[in-house]
Structure formats: C-alpha cells, structure tokens
Amino acid sequence: MKFKAFTLSEVLITLGIIGVVAAMLIPTLVAKYQEKVAVTQLKKAYSILSNAWQMVEAEYGTIDTWGLNNTDTHTKDEEGNHVYNKSAQSIIAQRLKPYLKVAKTCELNKVCREGVITDKWDSPPEASFFLNDGTYMVIGYYLDSTKSADVSVILPSSKKVILGKTKFYFKLRPNKVIPEGDNNICKNCFENQCYNNGRYCTAWVIYNENMDYLKCDDLSWNGKHKCSD
C-alpha cells in the first residue's frame, strides 16, 4: 500500500505562508480592537460625567450662577509669570466628585500619574482624580465669558497620553456637558483642529464611534464619516 503525505518542505512553506499572513493581519485586528475599546471607554466617561453634572446642577443650580472667578486673571507676577486663580477648579471638583465614583484624588507635592508632581500642574491637586474604573479626570480652566470649564479625560490603562487617542476634552456648561469639537457649538473645529493637535476630536468619537481621523485626513461633519465611505 502507498500513502500520500506532505513533504517536510511543503509543510514548512505552508507554515511560512500562514505566519506571513498572520503577521500582516494581527496588528490590524489588534488596532481595531483597541480602537473599539477606547470608543466604549470614552462614551462611558461621557455618560458618567453627564449624569453627575445633571445632579450637581440640580443641587447647586447651573454653573453660571455660582459666581466663579475666571481662572486666567490676565495679570502677571513680579517675575513676569501669568497669574491664575484656581478657586473655580477646586469648587467644581468639590461639587462634582461626590456624584462620581472617585477611587483616588491627587495630593499636593506627590506624584499622581505619569511621574508628574501635582504642584506643577495647571489644576489644583483636588481637581485631579481617578475614577474606580481607572479613568483619569482633571477639571481645567474656568472661562467666565462662556460660563464653562474644561474637563480632560485620560482613558483607563493608557500607556501614552496622546490627544485624540487616549486623552480627550469636554466642556462643562450650563445644563450640559459638551464634547470638544461638537459641530453645533464650534463650526469646523474638528476639521481645523482635530488633525492639527487632537484636541477637538472628542465629539467625533462620541457621535461617529470611530477614530478614523487617525487613518485618513479627509473626514468632515458634512462629508465622509469613515475612511471607507
């Protein structure tokens, strides 16, 4: 009786082809999975922040009635450094955190994340904190002219802090939380700024559920919403 079988060279060639195909496909699949996770995490952070903000304003009134001080005083000290008033950030954090599941609040003169000591940050330590799922939030500058404050969000388990990929911005305004780059609030901000510095990508991710601006440069609110469109 004669038996048919693959030769060793045929097996090795087949395994080599499989290896090459896997090496080409796996990075793409991993990237797609990571993007999907990031989108889910950002939408969750948006939902948590929005719900908490509704409860804060139900208790204290809308932010425009709080009498907060503008963070940028538009003055300089004797050494020529800009002077900032961080009281608004502290007040907002104090009122917001009880409605969030905060696991850790940063402390003055201590490392909180990324090896940065908190007294060097733009926000007071009490306005920088981790949620229990690992999401990191910082209450940013309050702007009296728009009655709004920035909130930056760094997604859980982010190895690198990259605007538009692992770090995103929201604005706390009267009665709502607005993702940066919302075309209804800031016309063409996505097209003009997301590609330039990543700051105005948040709304795109929330509403379109993708980060395709990392793959192609011709997306717009009034045009393509995916690279494949």
Averaged over 148-172, what is the pLDDT? 92
Residue 86 and residue 18 share a domain: yes
Tokens of 156: 């859980």
Per the structure, the count of domains in the chain is 2
Averaged over 125-154, what is the pLDDT? 94
Averaged over 31-38, what is the pLDDT? 84
pLDDT of res. 109: 81
Mean pLDDT, the chain, as a whole number? 88
Residue 79: exposure state from Cβ atoms within 10 A (0-12, 13-18, ≥19)? exposed
Query: Is 157 inside any structural domain?
Result: yes
Residue 50 and residue 120 share a domain: yes
Residue 193 and residue 173 share a domain: no
pLDDT of res. 27: 65
On the question of pLDDT at 2 being above 80, the answer is: no
Residue 129 and residue 106 share a domain: yes
Is the CB of residue 63 less than 8 Å from the CB of residue 149? yes
Query: Is 2 inside any structural domain?
Result: no
Residue 214 and residue 122 share a domain: no
Residue 121 and residue 51 share a domain: yes
Tokens of 39: 């989108």
pTM exceeding the 0.75 threshold for the entire prediction: yes
Instruction: Report CA Rg, the chain.
Output: 23
Query: Is 5 inside any structural domain?
Result: no
Q: Which of 2-16, 30-44, 93-107, 208-222 has the lowest mean pLDDT?
A: 2-16
Query: Is 1 inside any structural domain?
Result: no
Query: Is 48 inside any structural domain?
Result: yes
pLDDT of res. 107: 87
Averaged over 44-55, what is the pLDDT? 97
Q: Which domain holds residue 221?
A: 186-229
Query: Is 150 inside any structural domain?
Result: yes
Residue 190 and residue 112 share a domain: no
Averaged over 205-229, what is the pLDDT? 91
Tokens of 91: 């007040």
Residue 160 and residue 106 share a domain: yes
Residue 200: exposure state from Cβ atoms within 10 A (0-12, 13-18, ≥19)? buried
Residue 165 and residue 100 share a domain: yes
Residue 114 and residue 194 share a domain: no
Residue 52 and residue 34 share a domain: yes
